[in-house]
Amino acid sequence: MRANPDGVVSKYLVECARPGTIVHLSQAAGGFTMPEPLPHRLLFISGGSGITPVMSMVRTLLRRGYGGTITFLHYAQSPAHQIFADELAELPPNVHVHLVYPEQSGRFFTPMELSRLVPDYPDVDTWACGPAGLIEKIQAAYDGGDKLRVEYFKTPVLRGTAGGDVTFTKAGATAANTGTTLLEQAEAAGLTPEFGCRMGICFSCTSHKAEGTVRNVLTGEESSLPDEDIRICVSIPVGNCAVEI
């Protein structure tokens, strides 16, 4: 196991945990789940090892007797890098598998490529998992539509518009908004807020926002609600903002 130098859990497991250590885990959380009832068409897009959760979802659907149509689009560097190759080859006819190897073909994800497979893809329930670069292109193709659910290996490197001030109310400190995430701005100000994954998954960094507007770097959604809890690792302040750190 490798430790993320910026993480909490992986560093603890690698450097501190010993055989017999009891680790308590919370319930799984997130929005990368299947709806009920299931739509009659599903679209899965994955890149590299991002195929792992998607493959798990496909297995579960087939075990439950799902009879709808599944389009499965996966990107890997080459056939030698293909994960689950044998299992993919044996999926039933209602799962339409499309494997793309950019190293060989020079083909990369584009909305045009996707529309050739699923002409009305913006209206089809879609799950995408992979590296940030791929997910950003997929999100742009769906242009904020509500049919897309995504999961990242790493949050994209996005910056907001600098301007206004960020106030860290517990520390009694105020700094100019640099357009980076609230976690990064807090750390730049010498503060040490709690965090875990830095990807918006574990909720370890959840803090209370007293006022201001923030943008979620994963979804692009903005919220101006007062007195709300936010994940500071994936929240960029838009103008003035006050957060309890």
- Identify the domain boundary among 152, 178, 202: 152
Give the domain CATH number at 49: 3.40.50.80
Q: Is the pLDDT of residue 161 over 90?
A: no
- Listed residues 152, 182, 201: the one ending a domain: 152
What number is the average pLDDT over the span 117-144? Answer: 92
pLDDT tens digits for range 213-245: 999 887 778 999 989 999 999 899 999 999 999
CATH number at residue 203: 3.10.20.30
Q: Comparing 25-39, 58-72, 94-108, which segment has the lowest mean pLDDT?
A: 25-39
Residues 175 and 196 grouped into a single domain: yes
Q: Which residues of 202-215 are buried (b: 16+ CB within 10 A; e: fewer)?
A: bebbebebeebbbb
- Position 159 in a domain: no
Q: Are residues 176 and 109 in the same domain?
A: no
Answer yes or no: do 199 and 238 share one domain. Answer: yes
- The parent domain of residue 74 ranges over 41-152
| Number of domains, the chain | 2
Strand pairing report for 228-231 and 206-216:
antiparallel
* Same-domain check for residues 144 and 176: no
Query: Is 21 among the domain residues?
Result: no
Q: Give domain status of residue 16, yes or no.
A: no
**pLDDT at position 156 over 70:** no
User: Per mean pLDDT, which range of 37-41, 58-62, 141-145 is the poorest?
Assistant: 141-145
pLDDT at 12: 80
Based on the fold, state whether residues 129 and 173 are members of the same structural domain: no
Judge whether 245 and 207 are in contact, CB under 8 Å: yes
Q: Is residue 18 over pLDDT 80?
A: yes
Please tell me the predicted confidence (pLDDT) of residue 15: 85
Q: What is the mean pLDDT of residues 13-22?
A: 86
Whether 26 shows a pLDDT value over 80: the answer reads no
- pLDDT band of residue 202 (cuts 50, 70, 90) is confident
Q: How confident is the model at residue 209 (pLDDT cuts 50, 70, 90)?
A: very high
pTM: predicted TM-score of the whole model, two decimal places: 0.65
- Which residue would you say has higher pLDDT here, 106 or 62? 62
pLDDT, averaged across the chain: 89
State yes or no: pLDDT of 121 exceeds 70.
yes
DSSP H or E segment with residue 208: strand 206-216
Determine the pLDDT at residue 94: 97
CA distances from 122 to 136, 179, 241, 245 (A): 15, 30, 34, 39
Cα separation, 189 vs 181, whole angstroms: 12
- Taking residues 186-214, what's their average pLDDT? 88
In a domain, 24, yes or no: no
Q: How confident is the model at residue 106 (pLDDT cuts 50, 70, 90)?
A: confident
Cis peptide bond N-terminal to 226, omega within 30 = no
Indicate the residue among 152, 176, 198 that finishes a domain.
Answer: 152
Average pLDDT of the segment spanning 59-77: 96
Same domain, 142 and 204: no
Are 113 and 77 part of one and the same domain?
A: yes
